[in-house]
Amino acid sequence: MKKIWFALILLSASALAKNGPQPCGRSLASELHSRVLFVGQFLAHPGEAGGLRPPAETPDFLLQTQRLITSVSDRVKPTVVHIESWSRRAGTRVKALGSGVVVTAEGKIVTNHHVVDKADQVQVVLDDRSRYDAVVLQRDKLTDLAVLQIKAPHPLPFASLADSEKVQVGQWVLAVGNPYGLDRTVSFGIISGKGRYIPGSEQGMTPLNDFLQTDANIDSGSSGGPLVDLQGQVVGINSSGIGRGIGFTIPAKVVREVMEGKVQQGQLERGWLGLYTQPFTRALAAYRGMPNVRGLLISDFAPGSPAARSGMQIGDVITELDGTAVEAEEEDEIQRFALQVSRLTPGGKVEIKVRRGSGITAVPVEVGLQPHLEGAEVETPYGFRVAEITGFRQQQFRLTEKSGVVVTEVLEGSPASEAGVEEGDLLLEWEDRPIETLDQVERLADAPAKPSLLLRFKKGQYRYFALLQQRGRKKS
């Protein structure tokens, strides 16, 4: 309650400053003082029942603030949708719930990637309770965004994207979504921070986001809903919350880049260098005899990558990328470097300056095309998922193999998990049959499930047998 009243004082001050001199010769300072005094008295004197004693008459500035917030809420809520998606996990049909926002009158919708990840069916429920099947136009795991399309018989109300570069810490915002299935719930808060970094949940994956942080509530089911300013424009798409008062939102700038980006084979085209880096901390700098050098330390290269062919060396410290200084003492600064690289044009040339020994070396690099992230995948009824090895999978799991089948997901408590199978393991044999392609796995996984299954895997340089004992449901 105190938070809201304090916020109202701030809004009142803003309104006073905008409206200029006050009537009857009162100064802005004295008018603001009287309003602060009013709110202070309102909070300080409890009523007979222990509650707050209401004033005899609600001041105009409070009513104006309330009308503004409810007006924005009323405009935005019709653009927010409820999303249901279905996928198959270990032979079981799984339903996921989330939110989204309509961004064109023709029915284009933005939501989170994790809301529709691996879904084979997606449905959207509009404000009027009408339900439509949706087509997933784009899935972008690196930004946790997805773009859907529905075919409605009439133009839809839609929300426009704000310029998130102009968003300020302390700015008021509304989060709208469907937490726990409660349709179009509105919560109120501020922008608590900008440029926040959240590590990727998947091994080897650096998310391409500098999140907005907000104290507006983002709960389970709110994912994919909009965060809007007091003009009703979308400043970002809500992604996750980690407790009351701490939520993370994907900036509208990133949303626009995903919507307008060039798609190749179902994936956005992005620049790629193939570098493994780590922060060049002050301790490392002092140890290397470079106490004043700031940058990124190169720890490895992806095999065959543009960086590996460029002449850069392991142990070099990147100090500049295409004329922009690179400084990284924390993990989130690596993420910002990854964002810079992703925005480079594939096929173009960039100059990277590195500190090597006591000198600075300028290295020209041709920007590559980011490898396809996932490739085709197959879900097995034994609690693990496998995929073909792509360039991204090579980088993700540090594989030397360029072909074959790799484990990309293992469900906790599944037969595969209990047998010690892990993500990044290579599947070599299925009941003594050598495995070389994903098609082989697909055919074998579609056969009736056995009570026990003997597989052979490779973990690093170690090969092992795993006996999977089936306790789940048969894949249908």
Place of tokens 């302390």: 170
pLDDT in tens, 132-156: 999 999 888 888 999 999 999 999 9
> Of 176 and 204, which is predicted with more confidence?
176
pLDDT of residue 336: 82
> Of 26 and 458, which is predicted with more confidence?
458
pLDDT in tens, 236-272: 999 988 767 888 999 999 999 999 888 766 678 899 9
pLDDT in tens, 351-366: 999 999 889 999 999 9
pLDDT of residue 54: 58
pLDDT of residue 266: 66
Which residue among the candidates 12, 99, 164, 223 is catalytic per the annotation? Answer: 223
pLDDT of residue 205: 52
State the greatest distance between any 2 C-alpha atoms of the chain, in Å, as a whole number: 93
pLDDT of residue 13: 47
Mean pLDDT score of the chain? 83
**Cα 107 to Cα 240: distance, rounded to the nearest angstrom:** 24
**Cα 8 to Cα 2: distance, rounded to the nearest angstrom:** 10
pLDDT of residue 338: 86
Long-range contacts of 44-51 (CB under 8 A, 24+ apart): none
Q: What angle do CA 301, 305, 311 make, to 5 degrees?
A: 70
Is 144 considered catalytic here?
Answer: yes
pLDDT of residue 100: 94
Is 414 considered catalytic here?
Answer: no
Question: Is 432 a residue whose pLDDT tops 60?
Answer: yes
Q: What is the CA radius of gyration of the chain?
A: 27
- Percent of the chain whose predicted confidence (pLDDT) is above 90: 46
Question: Is 47 a residue whose pLDDT tops 60?
Answer: no
- Percent of the chain whose predicted confidence (pLDDT) is above 70: 83
Place of tokens 């408590």: 413
pLDDT in tens, 366-384: 999 887 766 678 888 898 9
3 state SS of 378: strand
pLDDT of residue 202: 52
> Of 15 and 58, which is predicted with more confidence?
58
Cα–Cα distances (Å) from 449 to 378, 472, 475, in that order, read 15, 9, 8
Is 163 considered catalytic here?
Answer: no
Amino acid identity, residue 163?
A: D
Q: Read off the pLDDT band of 87 (50, 70, 90).
A: confident
**Cα 328 to Cα 299: distance, rounded to the nearest angstrom:** 14
3 state SS of 137: strand
> Of 21 and 99, which is predicted with more confidence?
99
Q: Read off the pLDDT band of 53 (50, 70, 90).
A: low
Cα–Cα distances (Å) from 269 to 158, 166, 446, in that order, read 27, 26, 34
The whole-model pTM stands at 0.72
pLDDT in tens, 277-290: 889 999 999 999 98
Question: Is 122 a residue whose pLDDT tops 70?
Answer: yes
**Cα 428 to Cα 465: distance, rounded to the nearest angstrom:** 10
Mean pLDDT of 223-242: 92
Amino acid identity, residue 469?
A: Q
Which residue among the candidates 12, 82, 144, 219 is catalytic per the annotation? Answer: 144
Long-range contacts of 44-48 (CB under 8 A, 24+ apart): none
| Domains in the chain with CATH codes | 2-57 (no CATH), 76-269 (2.40.10.120), 270-369 (2.30.42.10), 377-469 (2.30.42.10)
Mean pLDDT of 208-221: 85
pLDDT of residue 241: 80
Which residue among the candidates 82, 113, 114, 164 is catalytic per the annotation? Answer: 114
pLDDT in tens, 290-339: 888 999 999 988 878 899 999 999 999 999 999 999 988 777 677 788 88
Q: Read off the pLDDT band of 28 (50, 70, 90).
A: very low
pLDDT of residue 125: 94
